[in-house]
Amino acid sequence: MAQPPAKNPELLDTALKSLHDLLTALNVRSEPLDELAAVEGFADLYTTLLEVRNAIMATAAGDLQYQIAMRGYVPGAIKGMQASLRHLTWQTKAIASGDYSQRTDFMGEFSDAFNTMVLQLDETMRNLHLKEQDLRKMAQTDPLTGANNRGYFMELLHTEIKRCQRYSHTFSVLMLDLDNFKSINDTRGHAAGDEALRTMIRVFQSSGLRQSDFWGRIGGEEFAVTLPETTLHAAAEAAERIRANLVKTAVSYDNDKFFFTASIGVSQYKAGDALETLLQRADQAMYEAKQTGRNRVCLAP
């Protein structure tokens, strides 16, 4: 007499082989063999394992949006893993955009490695930012005096001209040259001359200039100051404060003190001015101050 299908050894072997293939084979059937329908509970078990297999393969391939329809402990665990990986993906994108505050605490040993990596990235980026700031400052700063160098001063002045052209404002520029600077170098040495240049910067800083005002060392013993939203008359008053402050400021060098003066030319921006023409007028006024006795302020027409 034939055995019932559910207890047929050959049929059970076929069922076991089908389940084994779900776990090990490259290609499997999307539905169980028709003859295995007689094995009690096999169809549900096959469908569940197939769903678990598909979810694992999708996750392994990077598809974290695969929807698991089945319920149960194992499908639930896979759903949790997918959710964790989706959140980790979001955190990684946040880190890529510069958010180094991201931390994980739901993936055990991986979380420790992830958090360590983020901390190291954060420190590396902060160090790079500081180095970038240092390099930018070096590129913009006169190394002797700490003032803006010629290139950066001209860049700022060009920006100020564009601003005035756009908003119909005005501003003024001072050109300043130290008087008899060569004699300081010749009689006291170049180190004393360097200290005189640094003293000039301290005079700028103590002469009531505003935060919006900026200055730079243009070359040698020549400096320039830009006074935004300042008329020629107001700029002349600022120049006179600088000149008078300089006269009474001693240069301390090599256990000695000495004084020096400067000649200053003042020019106000006029509509249509190019950077060169504005500075040229201030420069001509400065030379007029030199030629008429030094230690004075002259205004460009």
The span from the CA of 148 to the CA of 197, in Å, is: 13
The rounded radius of gyration (Å) of the Cα atoms in the chain is 40
DSSP states of 77-112: HHHHHHHHHHHHHHHHHHHHTT-TT----SSTHHHH
Catalytic hit among 132, 221, 237, 288: 221
Burial 158-173 (b: 16+ CB within 10 A, else e): eebbeebeeeeebbbb
Residue 221 annotated among the catalytic residues of the structure? yes
* Residue owning tokens 């954060």: 122
CA dihedral 59, 64, 66, 71 (to 10 degrees): 80
In three-state secondary structure terms, 27 is coil
Q: Which residues are catalytic?
A: 221
